[in-house]
Amino acid sequence: MPNLLLVMLGGAFGSGARHLVGRATLAAFGPDYPWGTLAVNLIGGLLMGALAGGLVKFGQSGEQWRLLLGVGVLGGFTTFSAFSLDAMLMLERGDWLQALGYILASVLGALVALAIGLQLARAAA
């Protein structure tokens, strides 16, 4: 399958999953905090770490999986642009502490989640 189609197919699934997570967190927690964006960024970091760690053993033969899952699915699933907008809206409202907490939780949380994903993939290898 051509590379562009792999990315597009994966992106469709990732975007759909992102929408479902957003609806679920909105229903569970309400609209006062961007829980959906935070959730997908943390989950996406974990899954990207696991994928990157798992693909190492495939070398160049894992390129199609990287395109489908990493660029496509996880690219469509995670929402860094939405994260940026959410943070800016909090800052514009004057919610500086909430914005700082959200930024730290998103960025540091995604890095920690990615590290855990890498460790899980390496332990399974």
Which residues are CB-neighbours of 110 under 8 A, at least 6 positions away?
Answer: 41, 42, 44, 45
DSSP string, 24-84: HHHHHH-SSS-HHHHHHHHHHHHHHHHHHHHHGGGGGGGHHHIIIIIIIIHHHH--HHHHH
- Going by the annotation, the residues of the binding site for Na(+) are 75, 78
- Going by the annotation, the residues of the binding site are 75, 78
